[in-house]
Structure 1
Amino acid sequence: MNRLLTLSGTKLAEMIRKREVSSVEVVEAHIRQIEKVNPVINAMVKDRFEEARVEAKAADEKIKTTPVDQLPPFHGVPCTIKEAFALKGMPNVSGLPARRGIISQEDATGVARYKQAGAIPLGVTNTSELCMWYESSNKVYGRSNNAYNPRRIVGGSSGGEGAVISAGGSPFGLGADVGGSIRMPAFFNGVFGHKPTGGLVPNTGQYPYVTEEAARFLCTGPLARKAEDLWPLLKILAGPDGKDPGCVKFELKDPATVKISELEVVSVEDNGSQPVSRDLREAQKKVAAYLAGKGARVRTAR
């Protein structure tokens, strides 16, 4: 596999800024990987490859005339977007047959912020119907398949994102989560995902859009092939946009300043609903033991 397909978005951005690699090379490598794997995993449901190629060339030209410290953090780095988010010129169907033919006329807030950070969207990825199931399958786009074993599912509702990132087609993407729609695809596909605190990131521009009580639980957030991208992506996404009334201003604290000794950690080995394998139990115990060794107050909930 091309080494570029194994690196974090943060690392790729650094290499592009230093002109160790061009945005065109990085974007083209990911496009070729998607073209290779998508017939099997059916993760990307609509691409914008030609537009991305043009944008990558423009990104490389900008580097020639712009001081490095004035470039955005993910300048020239490709990404992917959950189809439930509006990406201008792309479908915004969310797996619902009644919405066939609907094309976004503007970008969702999260998409716009990724673009402002220099990221180049390659296309939109599959979801469950109306983003309401833990398998990304619908009557518009069909079922997405796991890159590790195509007979297995990718989770949902941001399953297309989990699958395409897992298969090397994207360093990071944009998803949303109410009851596991970022967390499950990240887990099922062996990538990283973060559901932010409710109200931290605007949900503007996604379908279905929830209101009132349920809005507190819908959270827009990042998925990535490397954990190191989650924090910089969250910083990009966070903050009010003047459109989502549920989004408020938070003071984001740098994780590097967090004192583990001041944390209380609850370890839930089994929620009583689904069986948990011994390997996963043991892995969780190791994490709990590590945190306890660093001074955290760890307790197990049963």
Structure 2
Amino acid sequence: MALSRLEKAQTWLFRAVTSFFFMIFQLLSSPAASARKLPPVSNPLLLQSATQLAKKIRRKEVSSVEVVQAYIDRIQEVNPFVNAVVKDRFAAALQEAAQVDKLIEEETGGEDVLEDRLPLLGVPLSVKESYSLQGMPLSTGLLSRRGVIASVDAPPVALLKRAGAVPLGVTNTSELCMWLESHNHLYGLTCNPYDLERIAGGSSGGEGSILGAAGAVIGVGSDIGGSIRIPCFFNGVFGHKTTPGVVSCENQYPPTSGTQHEYLSSGPMCRYAEDLLPMLKIMAGPNAHKLSLNAAVDLKKLRFFSVPHDGGSPYSYPVSKELLDAQEKVVKRLEADLGVKVQEVCFPELRYSFQIWDTYMGLPDEEGKPPLAFAELMGEPGRPAWAFWELLKRMVGKSEHTIPAILLALFEKTHLSKPSPFIIQQKEALQKKMEELLGTNGVLLYPPHPRVAPKHHHPLFRPFDFAYTGILNILGLPVTQCPLGLGEEGLPLGVQVVAGKLQDHLTLAVALYLEKAFGGWRDPGAK
């Protein structure tokens, strides 16, 4: 379906205005600092999956203390570059690792008993700061919450700890988890390990960055608009947005309101694809049986589809040629290796992705209560923030809030009191088409973003590009973000792998295949 004249005019005007301000921003920006590069990985323990590390620890081929110390050393080596870990618990982690080694020495039931009861025994873990991790800060980058300390563990964190994982600390987020760059005035700016002048994504940007920098092997993220997938894409690692309602999202900050709980997912982030499934089994807890995670997947029997772009939304920029080419390489490799036919499809409704996401995020709950205004969350624990006043303060460097947070609070004031029937219709049509297409054995490829990791603060001029991930939250589909090597500028390429509801095991199986086919994570220090 061709764009209407009005949509073409909207697209041209939107891009002209943002390009103008972007040009002014570049002219006023200070010259870039001399390029710095992360040191390459030198300890071989850092180049093994969590699954492999757990096996070696159980077999006493390496101690948990050695593994935990290796990751502590790496964090201390790379964190001054990337600013990903914002609060550590290294001393406690080493004590817990020593207890793990003692438990293994005293275990009489054998390796199989340990694997069944404690599958991640002794393996280091990093946690997004918006998750409650007992004894650690729970501010989500809000200065007014700088003194808030978590008194309990969020359920997915508790389950991973119960499986033997050893938390090393918490990682940076965007302010209140509602922006695609992890930057706030409490912890500062997180950088991309492949290029320190680039963003690490958000809101799980600290997780993505420390994983990409080999300062962590497994981590925990949350995703309501791409907050797992965008950082995983930008930092060249794997991440999974689960089917909503399977992994608990309790004890996170900020809390959901309205109908937002229907679109929020907690999920695993990791450097190696083989860790996705065991992590998800653990994090899903009593709901794991809903996902058929033990079912064998024959990739040759799946139906594959590819959607190269959103069809030309006036809000998002066109997908870059290198990402289109990367997805096409996946298509050709699938066809050559598996003997399948990957069908290219298009959904005209995708051009309304941002409007759909924005509309559904603002819907009231069953009792008619609307979601909390972002300005209310910004003012917590006091009165709601006055966005226009905060903007004036920001201009003279006095506001405690970031520009994206202030602009979001201002943007909320433009919302219509009632959702557009047209947008509701587009979403319902897209939902029906997508579910009919995928069924229980369909897999779809879709770009995670229109471009590779942009430079710091540049998303201000392309604020709606996250719609490529956000639309899949509203559709409630499971998605695995998979790296596809490095592009022209040495930055990670990637693709979203989508399946039908509760068919998470299909996308995880494809992730294993893509890791073998395209090499998975790459050491940023070895570029």
The TM-score bracket by the shorter chain reads: over 0.9
- Identity among equivalent pairs (%): 51
Aligned ranges 1:70-89 → 2 under 5 Å: 70-71=113-114, 72-89=118-135
Deviation at 1:249, TM superposition (A): 6.6
Match of residue 263 from structure 1: 302
Deviation at 1:297, TM superposition (A): 5.5
Match of residue 280 from structure 1: 323
- Alpha-carbon spacing, 1:239–1:63, altered in 2? closer, same or farther (3 Å): closer
Structure 2: 5+ residue stretches without partners: 1-41, 348-527
Match of residue 107 from structure 1: 153
SS in 1 for 2:147: coil
Match of residue 262 from structure 2: 216
Q: Equivalent of 1:8, from 49, 52, 64?
A: 49
Match of residue 85 from structure 2: 44
SS in 2 for 1:150: strand
**Structure-1 separation of matches of 2:113 and 2:184:** 43
SS in 1 for 2:79: helix
Aligned ranges 1:18-97 → 2 under 5 Å: 18-66=59-107, 67-71=110-114, 72-97=118-143
**Structure-2 separation of matches of 1:191 and 1:41:** 16
**Structure-1 separation of matches of 2:339 and 2:166:** 39
- Alpha-carbon spacing, 1:288–1:255, altered in 2? closer, same or farther (3 Å): farther
Match of residue 193 from structure 1: 239
Q: Equivalent of 1:168, from 211, 214, 224?
A: 214
- Alpha-carbon spacing, 1:270–1:297, altered in 2? closer, same or farther (3 Å): closer
Q: Equivalent of 2:144, from 74, 77, 98?
A: 98
**Structure-2 separation of matches of 1:51 and 1:254:** 33
**Normalising to structure 1: TM-score of the pair?**
0.93
SS in 1 for 2:176: helix
**Structure-1 separation of matches of 2:106 and 2:343:** 52
Deviation at 1:224, TM superposition (A): 0.2
Aligned ranges 1:232-243 → 2 under 5 Å: 232-240=278-286
**Structure-1 separation of matches of 2:303 and 2:277:** 21
Residue 194 of structure 2 aligns to which amino acid in structure 1?
Y
Structure 1: 5+ residue stretches without partners: 241-247
**Structure-2 separation of matches of 1:253 and 1:301:** 29
Instruction: Map Cα deviations across residues 52-102 of structure 1 (whole Å, 9 max, x no partner).
Output: 000000000111122212221110000100000000000000011121100
SS in 2 for 1:152: strand
Residue 60 of structure 2 aligns to which amino acid in structure 1?
R
Deviation at 1:252, TM superposition (A): 2.2
Q: Does 1:301 align with 2:355?
A: no
**Structure-2 separation of matches of 1:224 and 1:288:** 24
**Structure-1 separation of matches of 2:345 and 2:56:** 43
Residue 218 of structure 2 aligns to which amino acid in structure 1?
F
**Structure-2 separation of matches of 1:192 and 1:289:** 21
**Structure-2 separation of matches of 1:6 and 1:290:** 26
Deviation at 1:295, TM superposition (A): 3.2
Residue 300 of structure 1 aligns to which amino acid in structure 2?
V
**Normalising to structure 2: TM-score of the pair?**
0.54
**Structure-2 separation of matches of 1:212 and 1:192:** 30
Deviation at 1:30, TM superposition (A): 0.3
SS in 2 for 1:61: helix
**Structure-2 separation of matches of 1:191 and 1:228:** 12
**Structure-2 separation of matches of 1:297 and 1:99:** 49
**Structure-1 separation of matches of 2:154 and 2:146:** 19
